[in-house]
Amino acid sequence: MSEFALLQQKVLSLLSEEMQLPVNDPAMDLIDEGILDSLLFVDLIARLEETFSFEIDLANIEIDEFRSVNQIAAYIAASTKAPENEATVASAALT
């Protein structure tokens, strides 16, 4: 199983088991389907930060990045690799 697939599974488990939300399809739009409202969104952000040990910048948050399990997993993958990517960009800029 790929690293991304593991992230998807962990996010799906967080939503369906821990938060007890009716999510069974990783592509399902959680907002359009009425599953994720503003209060649950705040709860989700806190749980994601705790579960995946990273901080979500609320000043720059884009709701579209949290519409589905797939998008949430992609956001986590990008966010947890950001320091490594920044270091690579910084070292490339010096050469």
Of the CA atoms within 13 Å of residue 33, those in its CB half-sphere come to 15
| Tens digit of each residue's pLDDT, the chain (95 residues) | 899 999 999 999 999 999 999 999 999 999 999 999 999 999 999 999 999 999 999 999 999 999 999 999 999 999 888 554 444 433 344 43
CA-based nearest residue to 15, from 31, 61, 2: 31
Q: Say if CB 66 and CB 75 are below 8 A apart.
A: yes
> Other C-beta atoms within 10 Å of 41: how many?
15
Residues 6+ apart with CB under 8 A from 30: 15, 21, 23, 36, 66, 67, 68, 69
